[in-house]
Structure 1
Amino acid sequence: MHTMPEGLPLRNVLSLPAAGSAVRTAREVTEQVLTQWGISPRHPSADAALLILGELVTNSVRHAADHCPNLTVIHTAGPGTLAFGVHDRHPYQPALHGAVAHTPGSGLAMVTELTLGLGGTAVVRPDSDGGGKSIWITLPL
């Protein structure tokens, strides 16, 4: 269900209700996790990660709350890499890279542009049953 990037030894999983408070909680927990893992809040990827994560959680709350009462945030990291995913059970799988061309200025376009601008990757991974997805962001450290 939450297919993670391979080979990253650090991991944290956070389940949240699909409600407006999830955005703030996800950001706060992410800041704590990054600090515990020795990733400076001043690192360029740290600020970007918080911004991107906030947008992805906001989208899950807005669009998936009717399909599932909860969402999951997964953080992983290893040497030189930070990855995080937001999982919900809404079956719609947005085209992240198409968002830049088709909906410039949208939240997903911002997510994609910021991720790629930092040399990272953005991918949508469907659940095996097709009933949900995880959006994974990988950023260099």
Structure 2
Amino acid sequence: MDETGPAPAQPLPYEGVWRFTAPAVDASVPQARHAVRDLLRRQRVPVSEEVAHGLLVIVSELVTNAVRHAAVLSPVLAVEVAVGPVWVRVSVEDDHPYRPTALEADHGRTGGRGLLLVREISVEAGGACDVAHTASGGKVIWAALPLSPH
């Protein structure tokens, strides 16, 4: 009788975690979006077109927020992409301690709806998003989406 239990399943070829840093400047927004798009293609992640589009909007919104609101205290931001067998998670981390709570729309304002958009895209796809503090005192904002919408 084998006491070791079942062998662990091998990860799928597209599974993994990738992390890169970028300066907290406007040019990093399209660069981050293109880097994530290229990563999904290079790894042949079987993500639906709809989810991929939503994911790239989320990356743009999160990096834009880090550039606009955290650059003073965080000149560098980190983008992480984690791909599992049936989901993809993107996160943007910065060293600014402020934890945004703007998840409800203020219809009287013309801006400030980025996190609301991130939440709506996440929920619509059957995913989730949240903000968490980091050990270094900053924050990470993440969104996880299924590879195929439900």
- Please tell me the TM-score bracket, short chain as reference: 0.7 to 0.9
- Deviation, 1:40, is 5.5
CA displacement 1:80-117 (0-9 Å, x = unmatched): 1000100001111112xx612x5357111111111111
**Runs of 4+ more than 4 Å apart:** none
In the alignment, which residue of structure 2 is the partner of 1:118?
125
Match of 1:138 among 136, 140, 144: 144
**Partner Cα separation in structure 1 for residue 106 and residue 88 of structure 2:** 27
**Partner Cα separation in structure 2 for residue 41 and residue 114 of structure 1:** 15
Match of 1:103 among 103, 106, 118: 106
Q: Quick one: percent identity of the two aligned structures?
A: 36
Q: Larger % of helix: which?
A: 1
**Partner Cα separation in structure 2 for residue 109 and residue 124 of structure 1:** 13
Q: Which 5+ residue runs of structure 2 have no aligned equivalent?
A: 1-10
Q: Which 5+ residue runs of structure 1 have no aligned equivalent?
A: 1-6
**Partner Cα separation in structure 1 for residue 59 and residue 44 of structure 2:** 19
In the alignment, which residue of structure 1 is the partner of 2:7?
none
CA displacement 1:22-62 (0-9 Å, x = unmatched): 10110110011100221367521100000011000000000
Decide which moves more: 105-114 or 57-66.
105-114
**Partner Cα separation in structure 1 for residue 50 and residue 133 of structure 2:** 29
- Deviation, 1:18, is 0.4
Cα pair distance change 1:14/1:35, threshold 3 Å = same
Are 2:62 and 1:56 aligned? Answer: yes
**Partner Cα separation in structure 2 for residue 45 and residue 39 of structure 1:** 11
**Partner Cα separation in structure 2 for residue 23 and residue 41 of structure 1:** 21
Q: Under a length normalisation based on structure 2, what TM-score does the superposition of the two structures give?
A: 0.80
Q: What RMSD over aligned residues (CA atoms) do the two structures have, in Å? A: 2.1
Q: Under a length normalisation based on structure 1, what TM-score does the superposition of the two structures give?
A: 0.85
**Partner Cα separation in structure 1 for residue 39 and residue 97 of structure 2:** 29
Mapped contact 1:31–1:41 kept (Cα < 8 A): no
Mapped contact 1:39–1:46 kept (Cα < 8 A): no
Amino acid paired to 2:131: V
> Which structure is larger by alpha-carbon Rg, 1 or 2?
2
